[in-house]
A and B are shown apart, each in its own frame.
Chain A
Amino acid sequence: LAKTTQPISMDSYEGQEVNITCSHNNIATNDYITWYQQFPSQGPRFIIQGYKTKVTNEVASLFIPADRKSSTLSLPRVSLSDTAVYYCLVGPGGSSNTGKLIFGQGTTLQVKP
Chain B
Amino acid sequence: DADVTQTPRNRITKTGKRIMLECSQTKGHDRMYWYRQDPGLGLRLIYYSFDVKDINKGEISDGYSVSRQAQAKFSLSLESAIPNQTALYFCATSARTGGDEQYFGPGTRLTVT
Interface residues of A (CB under 8 A from B): 32, 34, 41-46, 49, 87, 89, 91, 93, 95, 97-106
The minimal Cβ–Cβ distance linking A22 to chain B, given in whole angstroms, is 13
Which chain A residue shows the least CB distance to B92? A43
| B interface with A by C-beta (< 8 Å) | 4, 31, 33, 35, 40-45, 48, 50, 58, 88, 90, 92, 94, 97-107, 109
Chain B binding site: helix, strand, loop or mixed by DSSP? strand
If A43-B104, A99-B48 touch, whether A105 touches B88 (CB-CB below 8 Å) is no
Asked if A43 and B105 make an inter-chain contact with CB atoms under 8 angstroms apart, the answer reads: yes
- Closest chain-A Cβ to B3's Cβ sits at a distance in Å of 11
Chain A, Cβ-Cβ closest to B40: A105
How far, in Å, is B87 (CB) from chain A's closest CB? 13
- Return 18 A-B CB contacts under 8 Å, by A number: A32-B100, A42-B106, A43-B4, A43-B107, A45-B104, A46-B102, A91-B100, A93-B99, A97-B99, A98-B99, A99-B94, A100-B45, A101-B100, A102-B45, A103-B35, A105-B40, A105-B42, A106-B42
Q: Which residues of A contact B4 (CB under 8 A)?
A: 43
Q: Which of A41, A43, A105 is packed against the most chain B CB atoms within 10 Å? A: A43
C-alpha gap A95/B100 in the complex (Å): 10
Contact partner of B42 among A34, A93, A104, CB < 8 A? A104
Q: How far is the CA of A99 from the CA of B44 in the complex (A)?
A: 13
Are A101 and B106 closer than 8 Å at their CB atoms? no
Q: Is the CB of A43 within 8 A of B106?
A: yes
Nearest Cβ on chain B to A100's Cβ, whole angstroms: 6
Q: Cβ of B103: which chain A residues have Cβ within 8 Å of it?
A: 46
Query: Could you say which residues of chain A place their CB within 8 Å of the CB of B99?
Result: 93, 97-100
Report Cα–Cα, A103/B103, bound state, in Å. 15
Q: Which residues of A contact B50 (CB under 8 A)?
A: 99
Nearest-Cβ distance from residue B13 to partner chain A, whole angstroms = 19
